[in-house]
Amino acid sequence: MENELQCGNCELVLTNEDEFCPRCGSLFEESVKCFTHPAADAEGVCVICHYAFCNECGSFVNGTFLCKEHEHYEVLQSLAVVAVCKETYESESLKNSLIENGLHPFLFSGKKSPSVYLPAKNSNAQNALDLAIYGSDEIKILVPFSEVLEAENILSSGEDKPVDHTL
């Protein structure tokens, strides 16, 4: 279609009106300035907070643009790890809490295959396969990028806290 474009970085199909790719943070406009340094050109948009940043304030990490504040997140496809648990009951409890709040969590364990679809052309697909084969006993709770900040608020306000919110 004429109204569509494809991200040159991750190949997500978007509309011509999109200013950046929500999957990888690539910018489609050249005149965007850094949120922190208004005189500097932005290199990408953080997929977590959706602010544009220059290369001093953010960078592409495994094909996904993250600002310095959010670069610690482990990402898989369009998902970010928001909690790591050792016990199944704990991960299920946190997952249910996120679902009850309208979010869309996924569980990932080294003992089980991930409950996410991984297209063959995705650069993070091999990383996910490596985790599934060589994973640990940890259970990771992931949410879509657009839900990370809300998930963090929900998890930090709950009485049952995960072992580690971020990596």
d(CA 127, CA 122): 10
- Each residue's pLDDT tens digit, 104-159: 999 998 654 444 444 444 444 444 444 444 445 799 999 999 999 999 999 998 64
What residue type is 127 in one-letter code? N
Predicted TM-score (pTM) of the model is 0.74
**Mean pLDDT rounded to a whole number for the chain:** 83
Distances from the Cα of 121 to the Cα of 12, 27, 41, angstroms: 11, 20, 30
> Could you give all domains of the chain from N- to C-terminal order, each with its CATH number?
1-71 (no CATH), 75-157 (3.30.70)
Mean local confidence (pLDDT), 7-30: 91
DSSP output for the chain: -TTEEE-TTT--EEETT-SB-TTT--BS-S--B-SS-TTSBP-EE-TTT--EE-TTTEEEETTEEEETTTTT--EETTEEEEEEESSHHHHHHHHHHHHHTT---EEEETTS--SS---TT-TTHHHHHHHHHH--S-EEEEEEGGGHHHHHHHHHHSSS--SBS--
* 165 against 54, higher pLDDT: 54
Q: How confident is the model at residue 16 (pLDDT cuts 50, 70, 90)?
A: confident
pLDDT value at residue 91 = 93
